[in-house]
Amino acid sequence: MQTIPASKQISASFHGMMPILPTAITAGGELDEASQRRVVQYCLQCGAVAIGHFGIASEYHKIAKTDRPRLTQIILDEVSGRVPVFIGVTSPSTEISIEYARQAEEMGASLIMASLPDRQLPDADGAFEFYQSLAKSTSLPIIIQDTPTTSSLLTPELILKMHREIKGILYVKAEGKTFIQKTATLLAADEGISVIGGAGGKHLIHLLRLGVTSFMTGTEALDLHSAAVTSYLRGEADGAARIYYEQILPYLTFYLDYSEELLKWILCERGVIDCARVLDPPAGAPMEAVEREELQWVLERIGWRKMADRR
């Protein structure tokens, strides 16, 4: 089992929520620094044990390269060392991902997270070479980000091989069609790789039952996701299940179909950010008015509330 450099002051496994932040922008499309800082504070108030950016929820593929340092600095400044910060470095090429990884380390990030190059998937050997090259470029621990696109390529066997043979491969965020089985296989191997839950919170309660202790889900309703995870980890499985089935799952019915749009819309409705606009171009057609009305009804029923702090 590998160990993380002590200087990074992070655990080999996390216990709690590791939210990936959205990228807050104004109605005119400019970065909204005040809202971005409020998102960080909101996550900390909800008990986040780590905070990340430049993931799918951040619309990383639509962020200007020149905006990355500014966003990274805003997050690092606002977190101010209270929890580890992980930075996504997924890009179209190995070279760009290496550049992003080095930048993240130089700026003070604690970890990096990377999916395979997002334009042309390599084969298994190419996947190994990608993560090996990335690990050689930085001393930061690496989170392998599995996705529905890479799920069939990043098998449990390949993930475990990379964990054993590549220094720094310590975590995997398992997603894709078979992520429950993949999670069970990785945990049963008991080789020390930490599995982080994702998929927007889908099957969160089942991943907890399998032994997963950390999740990159629920930024839009982090208080609810955190309550479920915290309850389970302190031995209150029935309470966690009630939160999941009675409060989380009802809104996920709508959310998972419109996650890009609804992440910011819900945070805007909660008073965390000022504008619900997504980066151009949008991922798909907007939610229909009748669906939004039904979602509002669900949110009111599950105890959804505005956040009080507007620093």
Report the 10 Å Cβ neighbour count for 281.
7
* pLDDT band per the 50, 70, 90 thresholds, residue 118: confident
pLDDT score at 249: 97
**Domain parsing of the chain, residue ranges:** 13-244
**Mean of the per-residue pLDDT values for the chain?**
94
Q: Which residues contact 250 (CB under 8 A, 6 or more apart)?
A: 298, 301, 302
Task: Please tell me the predicted confidence (pLDDT) of residue 40.
Answer: 99
pLDDT tens for 229-276 read 999 999 999 999 999 999 999 999 999 999 999 999 999 999 999 999
Give CA–CA dist 227/46, Å, rounded: 9
pLDDT in tens, 186-201: 999 999 999 999 999 9
Cβ within 8 Å of residue 187, ≥6 positions away:
195, 210, 211, 212
Structure confidence at residue 306 (pLDDT): 66
Structural class in CATH, domain 13-244: alpha beta
277-304: average pLDDT: 94
Residue 9's pLDDT band (cuts 50, 70, 90): low
Strands (E) in 92-237, as ranges, are: 111-114, 142-145, 169-173, 194-197, 214-215
Question: CA–CA separation, 241 vs 183, rounded Å?
Answer: 19
Q: Which of 174, 137, 140 is nearest to 154 (CA)?
A: 174
In this structure, are strands 85-88 and 51-53 parallel, antiparallel, or unpaired? parallel
CB-based burial label for 1 (10 Å; 0-12, 13-18, 19+): exposed
